[in-house]
Amino acid sequence: MLSNTLAKSCMRSRPLFMASRPMAAFSTGTYDNILVDKKEGGVALVTLNRPKALNALCYALFEDLNDAMMQLDKDPEVRAIVLTGSEKAFAAGADIKEMEPRMYPDTYMTDMLTWWDQLNTLKTPVIGAVNGYALGGGSELAMMCDILLAGEDAKFGQPEVNLGVIPGMGGTQRMVRAIGKSRAMELCLTGDMMGAEEAASRGLVSRVVPVDQLVDEAIKVGAKIAKKSAPSIAMAKECCN
User: CB–CB of 134/175 below 8 Å?
Assistant: no
Amino acid at 95: D
Q: For residues 182 and 174, give the distance between their C-alpha atoms in angstroms, rounded to a whole number.
A: 13
Contact between 1 and ligand HXC (CB under 6 A)? yes
Please state the closest distance from residue 73 (CB atom) to ligand HXC, in A.
Answer: 21
- The yes-or-no answer on residue 140 being catalytic is yes
Q: Compute the half-sphere exposure of residue 196: CA atoms within 13 Å on the CB side of its CA.
A: 20
Confirm whether 160 is a catalytic residue.
Answer: yes
> 92 or 214, CB closer to ligand HXC?
92
The contact pattern for ligand HXC, residues 45-74, with x = CB under 6 A and - = no contact, is: --------xx-x------------------
Q: Which residue is nearest to ligand HXC (CB)?
A: 136
Of the candidates 133, 184, 225, 233, which one interacts with ligand HXC according to CB under 6 A? 133
Q: Which of 137, 148, 149, 233 is close enough to bind ligand HXC by CB under 6 A?
A: 137
Contact status: 11 vs ligand HXC (CB under 6 A): no
Query: Active-site residue 60, yes or no?
Result: no
Per DSSP, the residues of 36-80 read EEE-TTSEEEEEE--GGGTT-B-HHHHHHHHHHHHHHHH-TT--E
> How many CB atoms lie under 10 A from the CB of residue 143?
24
| Chain residues that interact with ligand HXC, rule: CB under 6 A | 1-3, 5, 7-8, 53-54, 56, 92-97, 133, 135-137, 159-160, 163, 168-169
